[in-house]
Amino acid sequence: MVPLVLAVLLVPAGASQAPTSAPTFDEALVAARESIQAPGGEAYQKEFGKKSARHLGAALDECLAGPAAVQSSFQILLKVEADGKVSSALVRPEVPVTACVRDKLRRRTFPKPPAGSTWKLVNARLGP
């Protein structure tokens, strides 16, 4: 398995974004940083973190098909809906491996957020 570092942030949907438009990566990231203190956020973050670490590890194994050749970092923002399904996923930087991981995480189910849909930030670092 590829070594990685994982961090997640809780973000209620709708923060710092128009309700009908898809947010840019930067808008979703700002919302994630502003909303980390949401009610129930710490408990959900721990639960999400455990599940997302397993999902991320499996996605990296599939997308890399072997150990990482170079050290690199990337961020994935996932919008987790009330039912635990991902409705939107953004990645930066977007290169073939990170896009592959994003697409695999988009198809996963996560724990149900405490208060409706939530943006989650996953920071990952690959290393040889």
* Band (70; pLDDT cuts 50, 70, 90): low
pTM attached to this predicted model:
0.75
| Region label for 118, one of left (φ > 0), alpha (ψ between -120 and 50) or beta (otherwise) | beta
Q: Which of 113, 127, 128, 115 is nearest to 8 (CA)?
A: 113
Domain boundaries, the chain: 7-74+85-117
Taking only the tens place, the pLDDT of each residue in 74-88 is: 999 999 999 999 999
Taking the C-alpha atoms of residue 57 and residue 61, their distance in angstroms, rounded to an integer, is 6
